[in-house]
Structure 1
Amino acid sequence: MSIGIIGAGALGSNIARVLAGNGIAATIANRRGPDSLAELVQELGPSIMAGSLAEAARADIVIVALRWVDLEKVLGGLPAWNGRIVIDATNPVAFLDPDSPDAKDPTNPLAAYGIKVIDLGGKHSSAVFRTFVPGARVVKAFNHLAAEALLKPAVAGGQRALFYSGDEADAKAKVRKIIEQTGFYPIDLGTLDVGGPLTSLPFGPLGTANLVRI
C-alpha cells in the first residue's frame, strides 16, 4: 500500500517524520519540486522519497497537508483519483501576515494567533474538500492536533489519540492501520459529515482535543 504526502510544511513534514520513524515508506511532494525537499529526505532516511505532485498523488493513500488557500489550485491540476484514498488533513483557516490589517482586526478573535477563519458558506470543511478530489474516497484525519504533537504519539505513559472519519469502511480501515502503525490510538468518529465538523479547527468541539489512552 503506497503512501503519498502532498504538502511539506510543518504538518506534511511531521507526518513524513512519524512515518519514517516507524519504517513506513512514502513519497512527499510540494509545489516547488523534489529538489527543494533534498534536505528533508536526507534527514528522514531511505523510507521517504521526494517526488512531483503527480507522483505523490498516484499513491494508494494520499495525505493532503496543504494550506486551505492552496487546495483548489494544487489539487485541481492532478489526475483523476479513481477511488483512491485521500486523507484530508486540512483546516479552513488562513494564515495572516503579521503586518497586514487583518492581523490587527479587532473583530477577529483569532488574530492574536495569526489566523482567521475562511467562510465556507455554512458548509463544513470536508464537504468542500470532497469537491477538490472528485472520485476519491475521503477520510478526515491528522488535522486536529498541532503539527508538533504528531512527533510524540507516546505521551504521559499512554498513546495520544487521533480521530478519523469517513464514509467507506474499507478506506477507514486502511487509514486506521496507518494511525496504529505510527503509535497513535485511533478513534472512529463515524461518517465524514459527522466526524469532519467535530475535529475541524478552529471551532470544532474536538479540535485541539489532546486525549491520551492510558
Structure 2
Amino acid sequence: MHFGTIGAGTVAQAIAGHLVAAGHEVTLSNSRGPDTLLDVVTWLGPLASAGTTAEAAATDMVFLAVRWPQVGDALAGLPEWDGRILVDTTNNLEPAQPVVTGLGVETASEFVAGRAPGARVVKAFNTLHARYIAADPRHAQGRQLLFYAGDDEAAKADFHAVADTIGFAPVDAGTLRDGGRLMQIGGPLSALHALRQD
C-alpha cells in the first residue's frame, strides 16, 4: 500500500517512520509545500517522499495529522475521496487556550467525516501522546494498545491489519459516534497507555 499524510509534524513523522520501516511508501504533505519537507523525507529514507496535499490525499490510506483549527483548511478543495481511507488522528483541542472545542452531539471524527465526503474515516492514534506513537510499540512486556473507531467495517479491517503490521496491538472501539466518544479528550480511553501481552 501507498500511504499519505496531511500534515507533517511530530505525529505524522512518527507514523510515517513506522510505515517506512515496514517497507511501505509514504507521501508526506503540509500547508507550506513539498520543498519544506526535504529534510524530513531524507531522514525517513528512500521510501518517503514529499508531495502536495492533493497528492498525499490520493494515496490508498491517508493520515490526517494537523492541529484542530487547521482541519477545515487541510481538507478543503481536495479531489473526491472515492472510498479511500482517511485516518483521523486529531483531537478537538484549541491549542492556544487550550480548550476542547464543543461539537454538540457530533464527535470530532464525525465532524471530520462531514468535511471529507466519500472518505471512509477511521479514528486512531489520538488517544496516544506523540512519544508513545514514535516509540517502538513492541516491548518485552507486550505491544502498545492502539484504539480505533469507524463506521465502515472493511476500512477498519484494513486499518487493523496495517496497525498490526507496524507493531501496535489494535483494538476496535466501535463506531465514530460511540467509539469516538470513548476516544476523544475527556473519554475513558483518552491518554490511556497500556500494553497487550500476545
- Shorter chain as denominator, the TM-score bin is over 0.9
Q: Give how far 1:79 is off.
A: 1.1
Give the structure 1 partner of residue 151 of structure 2: 167
Unaligned 5+ segments in structure 1 are 97-101, 103-114
Give the structure 1 partner of residue 20 of structure 2: 20
- Give secondary structure in 1 for the equivalent of 2:126: coil
Q: Which of 171, 193, 197 in structure 2 is aligned with 1:187?
A: 171
TM-score (norm 2): 0.94
CA RMSD of aligned residues (A): 1.2
Contact preservation (8 Å) 1:8, 1:29: yes
Is the radius of gyration larger for structure 1 or structure 2? 1
Contact preservation (8 Å) 1:82, 1:136: yes
Q: Give how far 1:116 is off.
A: 1.6
Alignment deviations for residues 80-138 of structure 1 (CA, whole Å, 9 cap, x no partner): 11111111111100112xxxxx4xxxxxxxxxxxx221122342111111111011111
Q: Give how far 1:7 is off.
A: 0.5
Alignment deviations for residues 124-182 of structure 1 (CA, whole Å, 9 cap, x no partner): 11111111101111111111101111122023521001011111111111101110111
Distance 1:155 1:65 in 2: 25
How many equivalent residue pairs? 196
TM-score (norm 1): 0.88
Distance 1:205 1:142 in 2: 15
Q: Which amino acid aligns with 1:34?
A: P
Q: How does 1:200-211 map to 2 (within 5 A)?
A: 200-201=184-185, 203-211=186-194
Distance 1:63 1:168 in 2: 16
Q: How does 1:1-214 map to 2 (within 5 A)?
A: 1-96=1-96, 102=97, 115-152=98-135, 153-201=137-185, 203-214=186-197
Distance 2:95 2:173 in 1: 27
Distance 1:28 1:123 in 2: 29
Distance 2:70 2:77 in 1: 12
Q: Which amino acid aligns with 2:158?
A: K
Q: Give how far 1:10 is off.
A: 1.4
Unaligned 5+ segments in structure 2 are none
Give the structure 2 partner of residue 112 of structure 1: none
